[in-house]
Amino acid sequence: MTSFSSAVVVVAAVFLVMFSFAPSCAAADFAYSYWVLDHPDGSDRYELNVSVSSSLYEYYAGKDHTLRSRLDLGKFVTPYALKPMADSLWTLYNDDEDFANGVLMITHQIPYEASAPQNYPVETIVANEGDCDLLSFVGASVMVAGGLDVVLLFYDSEGHMNVGVNLSHAPQDARSVVSYFTYDGKRYYMAETTGGNWETGWRVGECPQSFEGVSAQIITLENAEQVSPGQVSASFGSLTGSSSIVLSVSSSLLIEGSLVVLSGMVSPAAVNGVVTIYMRSGNSSWVILETLSLGSNGRYSYEWTPKSAGTYYVRASWSGDSSHAGADSSTSSVRVISLSLVLLGIVVILLVAIAGVVYAVSRRVGTHPSGDQVA
């Protein structure tokens, strides 16, 4: 083998190692069930099935959890992500007090566990545990998603938090004197989200004895999350419908400035809604690349031009519907090569080629026509 051939093989091997691809993997869903009654004093039980996609969980796990001030607590309320839970509850209730009590039945089934950092509701649902603030974020998110006017109530002297909810009428199912706080001319009735017995737990308007007469700071929700890349799936029926989502990339290896097409489809094709494409570079957190409406036959497509060289990972997620749990695609990698690196590689190959030619010529000149070496 000539030196030129050897050099080409070496260069090719180097590029192959540099741009070898990590295997893609499919994500799994997290599934939970919560019981509710048709009325706090009712006897009919209904099981609400909730499914959280891995991509949605990882999105919230990667979000900023920094608490800069107490007023910043509102950012952990995420109504849109939990809206399917609210929509399902409203199929069971026709009164805002019953709806709010139904939400409390759900939070009362999440085991209490003290935690130091704040977490987003999707994280709390997946962990299936939380303390007063985390459970309040879950309860407030579902109530706001259901159209209720809600605030957070923080009891500084007790280090406790629960929810205040404004209703169309004074609570009628409270088993004690009704407790509320007045803010901006409206009454916000206390809603205690902790408690271990969902059937006989705290109802809207009821105040735990240790908080009677204790003042609370009212935290409004102007900075609650207004939009989310996806939603949980929720239904009183069984989320047994099989669904899947496929993501394809037009090219896994690009030169900087090139375009790649991300496309795929959701099955069954009859479903509708939106697909969220998530992206992360290197070891960074997942971020939203784009949210797309499903077209005919459940298909979607997006043209993307990565801004810089590097390794990118992409995957797509569908949030599901009342019959189908959501689905995540496998993760695909896109390697973007720096244009300067490509030019350098071309220069290296040219230099190797020139060196090979010079070497071949020098050997020919140094050899006698008869084949004998020149003395």
Contact call for residues 221 and 152 (beta carbons, < 8 A): yes
What local confidence, expressed as pLDDT, does residue 24 receive? 43
The span from the CA of 180 to the CA of 184, in Å, is 13
CA distance 355 to 69: 66
pLDDT of residue 228: 85
Return all residues near 50 (Cβ < 8 A) that are at least 6 apart. Answer: 31, 32, 33, 34, 85, 125, 232, 233, 234
Q: What is the structure's pLDDT at 110?
A: 97
- What are the start and end residues of each CATH 3.10.620 domain in the chain? 30-219
pLDDT of residue 10: 39
Q: Are 165 and 136 in contact (CB under 8 A)?
A: no
The model's pLDDT over 46-88, given as tens digits with 9 standing for 90+, comes to: 999 999 999 999 999 999 999 888 889 999 999 999 999 999 9
Among candidates 242, 232, 270, which has minimal Cα distance to 33? 232
What pLDDT sits at residue 141?
98
Tokens encoding 67: 């608490």
What architecture does CATH give domain 30-219? Answer: Roll (3.10)
241-337 folds as: Immunoglobulin-like (2.60.40)
The pLDDT assigned to 115 comes to 82
CB atoms within 10 A of CB 280: 19
At 352 the pLDDT is 80
Residue 157 has a CB neighbour count (10 Å cut-off) of 9
CA 323/CA 260 separation, integer angstroms = 33
Q: Report pLDDT for 368.
A: 54
Segments in the chain below pLDDT 70: 1-28, 240-242, 270, 339-345, 347, 366-375
The whole-number pLDDT of residue 375 equals 44
pLDDT score at 226: 87
What is the Cα 365 distance to its own chain's centre? 69
Q: Which residues contact 225 (CB under 8 A, 6 or more apart)?
A: 75, 77, 78, 79, 80, 81
Residues of the chain with CATH 2.60.40.730: 241-337
Q: What is the DSSP letter of 367?
A: B
